[in-house]
Amino acid sequence: MTETKKHRTEYCDAVVVGAGHAGCEAALACARLGLRTVLFTVSVDSIALMPCNPNIGGTSKGHLVCELDALGGEMGRNIDKTFLQSKMLNSSKGPAVWSLRAQADKQAYTREMRKTLENQENLLIRQAEAAELLAEAEDDGSGKTTRVIRGVRTTSGAEYLAPRVILCTGVYLNARCIYGEVEEFTGPNGLRAATHLTQSLVDLGIPVRRFKTGTPARVDKRSIDFSRLEPQPGDEILRPFSFSNEPEDIARQQELCWLTYTNEETHAVIRENIGRSPLFSGTIKGTGPRYCPSIEDKVMKFPDKDRHQIFIEPEGLYTNEMYLSGMSSSLPEDVQEAMIRTMKGFEHAHIVRNAYAIEYDCIDATVLRPTLEFMDIRGLYAAGQINGSSGYEEAAVQGLVAGINAALSFKGQEPLVIDRSEGYIGVLIDDLVTKESREPYRMMTSRAEYRLLLRQDNADLRLTEKGHRAGLVSDTDYEKFLRRKELLQAEILRCRNTYAGANERTNEFLKAHGSTPLPESRGQSLAELIKRPELSYEVLKELDPERPELPARVREEVNTELKYEGYIRRQKEQVERFKKLETRRIPEDVDYTSISGLRLEARQKLQSIRPENIGQAGRISGVSPADVSVLLIWLEQRKTT
Ligand SMILES: Cc1cc2nc3c(=O)[nH]c(=O)nc-3n(C[C@H](O)[C@H](O)[C@H](O)COP(=O)(O)OP(=O)(O)OC[C@H]3O[C@@H](n4cnc5c(N)ncnc54)[C@H](O)[C@@H]3O)c2cc1C
């Protein structure tokens, strides 16, 4: 009798657990860099799902998407294909904080990403729950043992053996959805939760925590009186997220969003029913994001505010569902309906989906290296919401970095690490792996020290070289980038060497633009004139008949680089100082408990976070400048002994 084999064993180079925004980028990066990759998801319907807001980008998140694109990621291209409305936020402020945001057609976004994954060479999608991580101890050759990942086991018992595993489990680990008295043990939109993997993480000694987030109700478009709302159109001039696209590639008819407000009546309904909110009754134990509070949180914490903005955004062209941005809640169903109906235009609103809060398990990311590999388990990586972050874009960039690094280490190549002076991605990852976060981490422009250098328009100048070196940016895109860079440099030089004469024509022009005329016989370069607040590269066109035809991106970049030249130079000097500390590497084997001058808290933090360099050590909360000095002296002494 032939014995039937109970469980299958499959071999591949990389396993990615989770097909959300982190998992899609991680899997594409691995596969595109040549690794035979299997992408697991508890449900194929959750591929690139947007369970909350129907948009990509926004303040600081737009920066992340442009950086991801410059490195060869997919999110920017995917939203360029599927957006319904596009807007540059903060355009009245300086270019450092301009942030592109696009409303997505959710279904189209998911469908297009799935198509990309399904057609990617080296990549297979598998609907199954990864239940257990397979890791074992290995002698590293020096007598010390290191734990190494071997693969995953699914709930059916099948084993997928791979030397690289990336965890991108998002909001699905032991997920619990709650509103009012109702609780359901599912992931978002009623999709299955993953209920086994947390135990495996705990068994491996990985610190697990519980966070929560929430989403607003969706309302049927036909039940809204739009004549009472303020329309919010998109920009007339469209800008793509992806550097591979030109504005004409993404031209389309845009959809409208709308604005309304809560009022005293809405707030009264919330206050009267606050005892029924699981957030306030103590049913929800997980920690929520401070910067994305629920409407009940806003009303209770800011009693003096008599109204809050609510943006009404379409979920897609395929549906009548409208998303009520700013109204996330976990109040009971009847209270949700009552509060929504108090708003102008919503008197007869019909709720399609209730608002709810979701709790899930995630890890303390300080156990990771800046490559997103676990310090204590070789070959195992984590990216996205599992690392305590919140947001599609935050997840996507981590997925990309983890995917690239898993592939580079598989091929024995140098890792890719982006530091805080090179990108918002660097700021995000450095914060996650260095500072113990007690609440879901959201990217914000204020978290970046070198904001003027980290603009979304120059993300390609900062990162495309790295993306190409890693192998993710194609030669065609790289050549396009080099051409753009060349045009930019040539035009900046031309503006420095092209002078407007101090003649009648120039001075008439300057007066017409509210600018001081030039003193007699002293011409000024275009580069100098651009610095005047009332002038710009575009405005100076009239004085500049020799100007070459340039793409819009290059024109904007020339303007910014010249206008803010002085500030940019100063920030570059700060970066020089920062780099000095970042390049002071700390050996991996330091025993901080034996360094006598360090305070106890600093010893404990340094021992557990194990910073890679002095700069990172100084950013750990609980490590003071005095501790850093002790560490520097200790490192010097160690060098000489
Ligand atoms: C209710 C709700 C409200 C939210 N509100 C906001 C908000 O206001 N602002 C904001 O920026 N973000 C919000 N988010 C968060 C946003 O959805 C996430 O940040 C983003 O989706 C995280 O991406 P991710 O790739 O890490 O994980 P997810 O998109 O959650 O994807 C996780 C993937 O992992 C898979 N998976 C998990 N465990 C396993 C396993 N063991 N085996 C196989 N597959 C597995 C799932 O099937 C899924 O494919 C909200 C999410 C929810 C659900």
Q: What is the DSSP string of 417-455?
A: ---TTT-HHHHHHHHHHHS--SS-B---GGG-S-TTTS-
Mutate-to-test residue for ligand 1 from 44, 109, 114, 171, highest number of ligand atoms within 8 A of CB: 171
In the reported structure, the alpha carbon of residue 219 is separated from the centroid of ligand 1 by a whole-number distance in angstroms of 22
Please give the share of the chain, as a percent, with pLDDT higher than 90.
82
What tens digit of pLDDT does each residue of 620-638 get? Answer: 988 888 888 899 989 888 8
Q: Whole-number mean pLDDT of the chain?
A: 94
In the reported structure, the alpha carbon of residue 385 is separated from the centroid of ligand 1 by a whole-number distance in angstroms of 6
- pLDDT score recorded for residue 1: 44
- Tell me which H or E stretch contains 188: none
Question: Stretch 241-255: mean pLDDT, rounded?
Answer: 95
Which residues lie across from 130 on neighbouring strands? 154
Question: Stretch 536-546: mean pLDDT, rounded?
Answer: 93
What tens digit of pLDDT does each residue of 131-160 get? Answer: 999 999 988 777 788 899 999 999 999 999
Residue nearest to ligand 1 atom 44, measured at CA: 41
The number of residues making up the chain comes to 641
Its pTM stands at 0.94
Mutate-to-test residue for ligand 1 from 64, 117, 168, highest number of ligand atoms within 8 A of CB: 168
State whether the beta carbon of 168 lies less than 6 angstroms from ligand 1.
yes
State whether the beta carbon of 329 lies less than 6 angstroms from ligand 1.
no
In the reported structure, the alpha carbon of residue 143 is separated from the centroid of ligand 1 by a whole-number distance in angstroms of 41
In contact, 363 and 338? CB cutoff 8 Å: no
Cα four-point dihedral sign 419, 422, 427, 432? negative
State whether the beta carbon of 384 lies less than 6 angstroms from ligand 1.
yes
Closest by CA to 35, choosing from 578, 406, 433, 561, is 406
How far is the C-alpha of 46 from the C-alpha of 28, rounded, in Å?
A: 16
In the reported structure, the alpha carbon of residue 394 is separated from the centroid of ligand 1 by a whole-number distance in angstroms of 11
Q: Atom of ligand 1 at shortest distance to CA of 22?
A: 25
Q: How confident is the model at residue 222 (pLDDT cuts 50, 70, 90)?
A: very high
State whether the beta carbon of 26 lies less than 6 angstroms from ligand 1.
no
State whether the beta carbon of 611 lies less than 6 angstroms from ligand 1.
no
State whether the beta carbon of 213 lies less than 6 angstroms from ligand 1.
yes
In the reported structure, the alpha carbon of residue 63 is separated from the centroid of ligand 1 by a whole-number distance in angstroms of 20
- pLDDT score recorded for residue 290: 62
What tens digit of pLDDT does each residue of 21-75 get? Answer: 999 999 999 999 999 999 999 999 889 999 999 999 999 999 999 999 999 999 9
Closest by CA to 406, choosing from 100, 81, 167, is 167
In the reported structure, the alpha carbon of residue 171 is separated from the centroid of ligand 1 by a whole-number distance in angstroms of 4
State whether the beta carbon of 215 lies less than 6 angstroms from ligand 1.
yes
Q: How confident is the model at residue 291 (pLDDT cuts 50, 70, 90)?
A: low
Model confidence at 349: pLDDT above 60:
yes
Question: Stretch 207-236: mean pLDDT, rounded?
Answer: 96
The one-character DSSP state at 111 is H
State whether the beta carbon of 130 lies less than 6 angstroms from ligand 1.
yes
Q: How confident is the model at residue 379 (pLDDT cuts 50, 70, 90)?
A: very high
State whether the beta carbon of 286 lies less than 6 angstroms from ligand 1.
no
Residue nearest to ligand 1 atom 33, measured at CA: 18
Q: How confident is the model at residue 2 (pLDDT cuts 50, 70, 90)?
A: very low
Q: How far is CA 430 from the centre of its chain?
A: 13
Model confidence at 4: pLDDT above 60:
no
- pLDDT score recorded for residue 610: 92
In contact, 367 and 386? CB cutoff 8 Å: no
Q: Atom of ligand 1 at shortest distance to CA of 292?
A: 8
Residue nearest to ligand 1 atom 27, measured at CA: 170
- Cα–Cα distance list, 618 to 149, 226, 596, 611, 632 (Å): 31, 53, 18, 9, 11
- pLDDT score recorded for residue 91: 87
Quickly list DSSP for 210-275.
EEEEEE--EEEGGGS-GGGSEEE---SS---SSTT--GGGG--PPPPEEEEE--HHHHHHHHHTGG
In the reported structure, the alpha carbon of residue 594 is separated from the centroid of ligand 1 by a whole-number distance in angstroms of 41
Cα four-point dihedral sign 385, 388, 389, 395? negative
Q: Atom of ligand 1 at shortest distance to CA of 24?
A: 25
State whether the beta carbon of 288 lies less than 6 angstroms from ligand 1.
no
How far is the C-alpha of 236 from the C-alpha of 238, rounded, in Å?
A: 6
Residue nearest to ligand 1 atom 6, measured at CA: 52
Q: Atom of ligand 1 at shortest distance to CA of 394?
A: 19
In the reported structure, the alpha carbon of residue 616 is separated from the centroid of ligand 1 by a whole-number distance in angstroms of 28
Mutate-to-test residue for ligand 1 from 39, 42, 134, highest number of ligand atoms within 8 A of CB: 42
Q: How confident is the model at residue 280 (pLDDT cuts 50, 70, 90)?
A: confident
Token digits of residue 106: 């959710």
Q: Atom of ligand 1 at shortest distance to CA of 389?
A: 19
State whether the beta carbon of 52 lies less than 6 angstroms from ligand 1.
yes
Angle in degrees, CA 400, 405, 406, rounded to 5: 100
State whether the beta carbon of 292 lies less than 6 angstroms from ligand 1.
yes
Q: Which residue in the block uniquely carries the two structure tokens 């989906």?
A: 353
In the reported structure, the alpha carbon of residue 89 is separated from the centroid of ligand 1 by a whole-number distance in angstroms of 25
State whether the beta carbon of 172 lies less than 6 angstroms from ligand 1.
yes
State whether the beta carbon of 18 lies less than 6 angstroms from ligand 1.
yes
In the reported structure, the alpha carbon of residue 539 is separated from the centroid of ligand 1 by a whole-number distance in angstroms of 45
How far is the C-alpha of 209 from the C-alpha of 201, rounded, in Å?
A: 11
- Tell me which H or E stretch contains 33: none
